[in-house]
């Protein structure tokens, strides 16, 4: 029996909406990563991007468990010597709340060109509004 491999034209991409209000960060990120990779579909193929688009709203109201609000550190480097910047999760939530969800999901995707392609289908918004109403995203329970 032959194994059917989906072609680029036969992959149908759908849009999903995740409301992150009062949801735990890790659970939202793992659900989003699973949908972005396409593991929820029977046509999942590890070496192809068969995933769907994911829109995450209310990223500013996501919940961090334990003492992560004070202890979790986000790092970025400018590329220059001594250019490491460390920021606590509380400060990141106040300045760029979407970054918390983006980095959590990106860490759960493959670290390859394919992973970057999957990551481009993720849209994260701090508030409840998003510009993707025309795509009619289906709500996804977390």
pLDDT at 12: 94
Q: What is the pLDDT of residues 57-71, one digit of tens each?
A: 999 999 999 999 999
- 109, 26 contact by CB (below 8 A): no
Which CATH number applies to 15-139: 3.40.50.720, 3.40.640.10, 3.30.1380.20, 3.90.1180.10?
3.90.1180.10
pLDDT at 3 over 90: no
**CA pair distance 4, 40, nearest whole angstrom:** 17
Q: Which of 32, 71, 80 is nearest to 53 (CA)?
A: 32
pLDDT digits (tens, 9 = 90+) for 17-44: 999 999 999 999 999 999 999 999 999 9
Pairing between β-strand 84-88 and β-strand 15-19 as defined by DSSP bridges: unpaired
* pLDDT of 102: 98
Give mean pLDDT, residues 79-102: 97
* Ramachandran region, residue 12 (left: φ > 0; alpha: ψ -120 to 50; beta: rest): beta
Residue 42: what pLDDT? 92
Exposed, middle or buried: residue 74 (CB in 10 Å: 0-12, 13-18, 19+)? middle
Task: Give the pairing of strands 15-19 and 53-57.
Answer: parallel
Q: Where are the domains of the chain?
A: 15-139
pTM above 0.85, yes or no: yes
**Does the pLDDT of residue 51 top 90, yes or no?**
yes
**How does pLDDT run across 99-127, given as a tens digit for each residue?**
999 999 999 999 999 999 999 999 999 99
pLDDT of residue 96: 96
In Å, what is the CA distance from 117 to each residue of 51, 80, 102, 110, 112?
A: 10, 28, 14, 10, 9
Predicted confidence band of residue 90 (pLDDT cuts 50, 70, 90): very high
């Amino acid at each position: 029996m032959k194994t059917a491999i989906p072609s680029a034209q036969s992959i149908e991409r759908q849009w999903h909406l995740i409301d992150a209000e009062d949801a735990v960060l890790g659970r939202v990120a793992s659900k989003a990563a699973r949908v972005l990779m396409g593991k929820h579909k029977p046509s999942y193929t590890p070496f192809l991007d068969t995933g769907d688009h994911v829109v995450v709203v209310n990223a500013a109201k996501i919940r961090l468990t334990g003492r992560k609000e004070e202890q979790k550190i986000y790092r970025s480097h400018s590329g220059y010597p001594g250019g490491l910047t460390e920021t606590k999760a509380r400060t990141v939530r106040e300045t760029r709340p979407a970054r918390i969800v983006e980095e959590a999901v990106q860490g759960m995707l493959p670290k390859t060109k394919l992973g970057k392609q999957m990551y481009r289908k993720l849209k994260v918004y701090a508030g409840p509004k998003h510009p993707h109403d025309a795509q009619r995203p289906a709500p996804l329970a977390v």
